[in-house]
Amino acid sequence: MGKEQVNTRLPADIFQQFEEYRESRDIGKAEAARRLIAAGLDNGDLRDNLQDEREERIRLEERVHNLERERDQLEEDLEEAEQEAQQWQARYNESQGKLKVHHSEDADGVADRIRGLLFG
């Protein structure tokens, strides 16, 4: 694959920064331009990646928020179910108590009737 040439004119202040970059690394203009273009392109990819990560973070934060709302609703439903279970348990215990009283009354009544029949 052949190499393509790129030419550009720069404002004086940017050219000065370019020259400082080039001199600090002791490289020629062509190599400095290649490195800076490559770094700029890499940074472009980095910006794209950062944007993708921001969008993903927003989606995840929204998902977390929805899951927290769902958890809160489930906790409320569980609390209501536990209260209902306690009410049904109380009704059950009450009915068991009434049955015991009813059976004890029946037992006393039967015993009295048998005594009456036997001892007259």
What are the pLDDT digits (tens) for 2-57? Answer: 788 888 899 999 999 999 999 999 999 999 999 988 888 777 666 777 788 889 99
Q: Which residues, other chains included, contact 37 with Cβ-Cβ below 8 Å and sequence gap of 6+?
A: 6
pLDDT at 74 over 70: yes
User: What pLDDT score was predicted for residue 106?
Assistant: 61
Tokens of 95: 């009915």
Calculate the average pLDDT of the chain.
85
pTM comes to 0.43
- CA neighbours within 13 Å on the CB side: how many for 95? 6
User: What pLDDT score was predicted for residue 110?
Assistant: 67
Sign of the torsion angle spanned by Cα atoms 58, 59, 65, 68: negative
